[in-house]
Homo-oligomer: A and B are copies of this chain.
Amino acid sequence: MGGRRHMTGTTPAVPSRSDAVRNRRLLLDAAAKTFAERGVEVSIGEIAQRAGVGKGTVFRHFSSKEELLAAIMLGMLDELVGTGTALLAEGDPGRALHAFMTAGVEIFVRDRAFCEVIGRPSLQNPQVRDAIDRLCDVAEALTARAREQGVVRPDVTGTDVALLLGGIQRTAESLLSAEPQAWRRYLELAFDGITTHTGRTLPHPPPRHLPLAAPAADHGR
């Protein structure tokens, strides 16, 4: 997982001095928690404070806020890809797909920054995009198995499934503080939607991949 002494883009992967490794760990942990609770808008200063280090130390380890964020998002994406890959060994394709979707929505529900970053290509760095591609691939593999067995309707793709994860979280979002498990309701609803056989095919052609190459012709005014 990741080259040892290659530089990970712009910042040395892992420093050698003991205080530096410890602070890097503290920093990653604090950032993960803070981003999860409060979203991408939290200030670097607050993360530093929570980690018990100075603001400058943050930028010694990560050249920018975005890089710190990407490091954390990448870890979670890889974890989910791993879960999906492991589930390809599960015998029952329907159960495997359901378990994958459960794991996916759980991440969205747990982490506010994850929700905000995924699907906003304008904010994403190349590594995150690659990880999302891999996520779509494993979702497609799981979906294909279920589709061939007739568990899911024939015109549903892995990209559909990946996109639904965020949609399910969004549906449950405003209930989450009062009903932390409400998302399971909407996961089941969506799962019934993709497994029901109406005879009709869904409107609009199914998505093959995510359009991740946003030229970001943004608010350059």
A72 to B163, CA, bound (A): 29
Residues of B contacting A38 in the complex (Cβ-Cβ under 8 angstroms): 219
Closest to A156 in B: B189
A184 to B178, CA, bound (A): 30
Tell me if A164 and B171 are in contact (CB < 8 A): yes
Instruction: Say yes or no for A154: interface residue by CB 8 A criterion.
Output: no
- Interface mask (A207-221 → B, CB under 8 Å = 1, otherwise 0): 100110010000101
Taking A119-B173, A179-B204 as contacts, is the C-beta distance between A167 and B196 under 8 angstroms?
no
Instruction: Say yes or no for A3: interface residue by CB 8 A criterion.
Output: no
Cβ 8 A contact of A170, one of B166, B181, B204: B166
Query: Nearest Cβ in chain B — how far from A32, in angstroms?
Result: 17
Instruction: Say yes or no for A60: interface residue by CB 8 A criterion.
Output: no
A189 to B186, CA, bound (A): 12
Cβ 8 A contact of A171, one of B167, B188, B203, B211: B167
A46 to B220, CA, bound (A): 12
Closest to A163 in B: B171
Residues of B contacting A168 in the complex (Cβ-Cβ under 8 angstroms): 167
Query: How often does this chain occur in the complex, in copies?
Result: 2
Taking A167-B168, A192-B196 as contacts, is the C-beta distance between A174 and B204 under 8 angstroms?
no
- Interface mask (A184-202 → B, CB under 8 Å = 1, otherwise 0): 1110111111101010001
Tell me if A190 and B190 are in contact (CB < 8 A): yes
Tell me if B175 and A207 are in contact (CB < 8 A): yes
Instruction: Say yes or no for A10: interface residue by CB 8 A criterion.
Output: no
User: A interface vs B, CB < 8 Å?
Assistant: 38, 42, 46, 119-121, 160, 163-164, 166-175, 177-179, 181-182, 184-186, 188-194, 196, 198, 202-204, 206-207, 210-211, 214, 219, 221
